[in-house]
Amino acid sequence: MLTVRDLRVSVENKEIIKGLSLEIKPGEVHAIMGLNGAGKSTLANTIAGRNDYEVTAGTIEFDGKDIKDLEPHERVGEGLFLGFQYPVEIPGVSNLNFMRTALNSVRRYRGEEDMSAAEFMKLVRVKAAELKMDLDMLKRFVNVGFSGGEKKRNEMVQMAVLNPKLAVLDETDSGLDIDALKVVADGINAQRRNDTAILLITHYQRLLNYVQPDVVHVMIDGKIVKSGGKELAAELEEKGYADVA
Amino acid sequence: MPELVTTAYSDQAASLDGTLAGMGHVRSAAISKFEETGFPTARDENWRYSDIKQLRGQAFSVAQKPPSTEIPDAICETAARLVLVNGRFDVERSNFGDLLQAMSIRPIANHLMANNDRANELHSGSDALTVLNTALMRDGLVFSVPAGVEIEEPIEIVHLMSGADGAAAHVRHLIELGEGAKATILERFVGDESTYWFNSVLQARVAEGAALNHYRLQTEGPQAIHTAKAVVSVGAGGNYNACNISLGASLSRFDAEVRLLVDGANATIDGVALAASRQSHDMLVHVDHRMPTTTSDQVFRTVADALGKSSFQGKITVAVGAQQTLADQSFKALLLARTAEANAKPELEIYADDVKCSHGATIGELDAKAMFYLMSRGIDPATARQMLVEAFTDDALERIDNASVADAFRDRIKSWMMAHAPTQLEKDVA
C-alpha cells in the first residue's frame, strides 16, 4: 500500500531523513519508534505532503501511484490520513463545519456526490459516540480550548469520518492518560481492516500494548536501523535505543 | 490644488442656490471654508492613509439622473426600501412598506422647507469632505422614529450610481430616534464601472434608551471614490451599533464620529474591509466619551491582497470627569500577499482616572499551520483560505442584531474570497 524508497528529506536545507525505505502492505500495522529528533515526525509530515519539507531523493508510492508531487489535500483524496502530534487550533471554524467540508472535499476528489447534512450528522454522531466524544465539542471551534486528550480524540473522530486507506498517526498517544489512551487505541483498532493499513509513530511502547503492531521499526538519525516483530518494541523498552540499535 | 478645481466647486455651490430652503448662507459659509482649506493631503493626520490626489486634481461635476438603471436585488427582508440614484431620491423606485404609519421618512428638502432654522442645525463639518458635502448637498432622507416606536425589520437605503462618469453625489441623511425608539438602517452602496465620487454624511441622534443599528455594505464600482461620514450622538442609556463592510471602490473611507453625551450611553462600531489589488480602504472611528459610565467597543478586521491597502484609525477620548468609562478596541489585519499593506493607528486620550480602556492591533498573514491542517484533511487550498478568512472576519460580524443581514454580509465576504483567492493559490502550494 505504501512503498517508500531511499527517501531523503530536507527541512530548511538541513537533511533530516537520510535514505529511508519502508513497505507497508494492506492489513498491516507498522510502528516506527525512535528518540526525539530521529526524524519520525518529518517522515509523517512528508508522507502527508507538507510543502516546506523538501524531498531531495527517493520515491513515495501510495497504492502504486507516485504521490510525491501531489498536494496535501490530493493525498487525502487518494486515501491518506495524518494524525497530528499537535492538532492545530482554528478559532472561528466550527469542528462540524470543518469535518463536513473535509469529507465532502474528499468525496468530490473521488467524483462522488456531497454527503447531505442529515447523513453527515448521523455518521458523526456514531463515530463521536464510539470515541466517547461529546457532540457539543464538535460544535465548538476546531480544537480551541480542548485538552490534550480531547484534541487526540478529535483526530480519531476525523479519521473515522474520513475512513482512510492508510492512517499515519504521529505521536497520537502522547499526552494521554490511561483512559484516553484506551479510547484512542479502540479508535485505531476500529480502523484496522484487511483493506487498510496504519503507521504508528511513537516514543513509547505503551500504545503498542493496546494496538498490536505487525512490524516495528527503529529509527535513528533519519534512517530505519532495525525492523522486527512486536517483540522488538518490548526489547527497546527494556534495553533502550542505544543497545538495540 | 489647482485653482480650477476650487473654482468649479464654488460655481457648483452657487448654481445650487435656492435648491434647499434656508441653505443659502450655510452653503456660502461652507464653500468659503473649503476655498480656504482645500482638500487635505497626506500630511493631515486623519488623511495619512487615504490618498485623495484624484480629488485634488479633478473637479467632479454634479451627477445627473441617468435615463434608466437597474436597481440591485434586496439582500434580505426589509421593512422599506428607499432608493437614491446618482444621489437623488427616486420615489418611484422606493417602497415605504407600512413604515409611514409608524414613523416619518421624507426628503431633506421637505424637512428644511418646514422650518427655515433647520439648515443651521445641520452638521457643517470640519474636514474638507464634510464641508464640501454641506456646500453641495442636494438630496437625502430624513428619518424620524417617535418615542417608544420599535421598527424591527431593517430600513434599507440603496445608493446607486450609474452613468455618472466624472460626476459626484453629495448626500445628506438625518436620523432621529425618540426616547426608547428602535430602528435598523441598512445602507447599501452600488455603482457601475464609471469613475464617480460618492460623498455622504449621515447624522444621527439617538435619544435616551433608544437603539440605532447602522449597517453599511459598500460595494461601489471599481473606479469609484467612496467617502462617507457618520456623525452620531447618543443619549442616556442609548445604543448605537454599527457594522461597516467595505468591499468596493478604488478608494473608500468610512469615518464614524460618535459622541456619548449622557451617562450610560453605549456604542459598538465594527467593520470589515477587504481590499483587492489597488484598492484602498480606510476606516476611522472617533468615540468621544463625554460623561460617566459610557461604554464603547470596536472590532475591526481587514484583509488585503496583492497591492491592496487597508487602514484603520481608531480614536477614543474620555473627557474630564467621565469616570467609569469602559472602552475597548480591537483591530486585526490579515495580509494575503507580501505586497499588500495594512496600517493601524489606535489613539487614546484619557482625562479621567477611573476608567477601563484597552486597545489591540495586530497585522499578520494566514496561519501556515492552520492551512496545512485544513489541507491535510482533504480541503483544497482555496477553500481552506476562504474558511480561515471567514473565521477571521466573523469576529466583526458577531454583534449584528439581524441574522439575515449578518448572513448577507457573510455571503459577500465569501464571494469576495472566491473572486480574489485564486491569485494567491500558487504561492500557498509552492
CB contact under 8 A, B381 and A71: yes
pLDDT tens across B55-85, in order? 999 999 999 988 778 889 999 999 999 999 9
- Is residue B17's pLDDT more than 50? yes
A241 at interface of B, judged by CB pairs closer than 8 A: no
What pLDDT sits at residue B421? 57
What's the first-to-final CA gap in chain A, in angstroms? 27
- Is residue A43's pLDDT more than 60? yes
Q: List CB contacts (< 8 A) between A88 and chain B.
A: 367, 369-370, 372-373
Question: Domain residues of chain B, as ranges?
Answer: 3-262
Identify the residue with better confidence: B69 or B34.
Answer: B34
Strand partners, B232: B204, B258
What pLDDT sits at residue A245? 65
- Crossing angle of the two packed helices A148-162 and A178-190, in degrees rounded to 10: 10
pLDDT tens across A68-96, in order? 999 999 999 999 999 999 999 999 999 99
Of A73, A103, A141, the CB nearest to B375: A73
- Is residue B8's pLDDT more than 60? yes
**From the CA of A245, how many Å to the nearest CA of chain B?**
33
What pLDDT sits at residue B81? 97
What pLDDT sits at residue B385? 93
Residues 389-418 of B with CB under 8 A from A: 390-392, 394-395
CB contact under 8 A, A76 and B395: no
| pLDDT band, very low/low/confident/very high, at A201 (cuts 50, 70, 90) | very high
CB contact under 8 A, B378 and A73: yes
Of B370, B372, B391, the CB nearest to A72: B372
Please compute the mean of the pLDDT values over residues A220-234 and round it to a whole number: 92
What pLDDT sits at residue B2? 62
A94 at interface of B, judged by CB pairs closer than 8 A: no
CB A47 within 8 A of CB A2: yes
**From the CA of A84, how many Å to the nearest CA of chain B?**
8
Identify the residue with better confidence: B411 or A238.
Answer: B411
Helix (H) and strand (E) counts in chain B: 10, 20
| pLDDT band, very low/low/confident/very high, at B1 (cuts 50, 70, 90) | low
Residue of A nearest to B383 (CA): A101
What pLDDT sits at residue B426? 42
| pLDDT band, very low/low/confident/very high, at B417 (cuts 50, 70, 90) | confident
Q: List CB contacts (< 8 A) between A87 and chain B.
A: 373
CB B325 within 8 A of CB B352: yes
What pLDDT sits at residue B424? 45
Q: List CB contacts (< 8 A) between A76 and chain B.
A: 375-378
The one-letter amino acid code at A227 reads: S
Of A50, A82, A102, the CB nearest to B379: A102
Q: List CB contacts (< 8 A) between B383 and chain A.
A: 101, 105
The cell for B239 is 445604543
Sheet containing strand A2-11, strands side by side = A14-24, A2-11, A53-62, A65-66
CB atoms within 10 A of CB B11: 12
Q: List CB contacts (< 8 A) between A146 and chain B.
A: none
Instruction: State how far the alpha carbon of B133 is from the alpha carbons of A4, A122, A197, B223, in Å.
Output: 70, 58, 70, 20
| pLDDT band, very low/low/confident/very high, at A220 (cuts 50, 70, 90) | very high
- Alpha carbons B61 and B225: distance in angstroms, whole number: 14
Query: Which residues, 6 or more positions from B251, have their beta carbon under 8 angstroms from its beta carbon?
Result: B50, B51, B52, B54, B224, B225, B226, B227, B279, B280, B282
A59 at interface of B, judged by CB pairs closer than 8 A: no
B292 at interface of A, judged by CB pairs closer than 8 A: no
CB contact under 8 A, B378 and A88: no
Residue of A nearest to B385 (CA): A93
Mean pLDDT of chain B: 94
What pLDDT sits at residue B427? 45
What pLDDT sits at residue B3? 78
Please compute the mean of the pLDDT values over residues B387-400 and round it to a whole number: 96
pLDDT tens across B233-267, in order? 999 999 999 999 999 999 999 999 999 999 999 99
Residue of A nearest to B386 (CA): A93
CB atoms within 10 A of CB B35: 16
pLDDT tens across B364-386, in order? 999 999 999 999 999 999 999 99
pLDDT tens across B88-127, in order? 999 999 999 999 999 999 999 999 999 989 999 999 998 9
- Alpha carbons A33 and A20: distance in angstroms, whole number: 14
pLDDT tens across A92-120, in order? 999 999 999 999 999 999 999 999 999 99
CB contact under 8 A, B390 and A106: no
Of A71, A98, A141, the CB nearest to B375: A71
Query: Which residues, 6 or more positions from B212, have their beta carbon under 8 angstroms from its beta carbon?
Result: B175, B177, B182, B183, B184, B185, B204, B206, B232, B238, B239, B240, B241
Residue of A nearest to B370 (CA): A88
pLDDT tens across A122-163, in order? 999 999 998 888 888 889 999 999 998 899 999 999 999 999
**From the CA of B235, how many Å to the nearest CA of chain A?**
34
What pLDDT sits at residue A33? 94
Least Cα distance to B86 among B140, B142, B160 occurs for B160
B388 at interface of A, judged by CB pairs closer than 8 A: yes
Q: List CB contacts (< 8 A) between B372 and chain A.
A: 50-51, 72, 88
Expressed in percent and rounded to 5, the helix, strand and coil fractions of chain A are: 40, 30, 30
Query: What's the CA angle centered on B390, arms B385 and B395, to 5 degrees?
Result: 140
Q: Number of CB pairs < 8 Å for A and B?
A: 78
What pLDDT sits at residue A107? 97
Of A49, A76, A141, the CB nearest to B377: A76
B165 at interface of A, judged by CB pairs closer than 8 A: no
Give the residue carrying C-alpha cell 477571521.
B392
pLDDT above 90 covers a percentage of chain B that reads 88
Count of alpha carbons within 13 angstroms of residue B73, beta-carbon side: 3
pLDDT tens across B125-149, in order? 989 999 999 999 999 999 999 999 9
What pLDDT sits at residue B41? 87
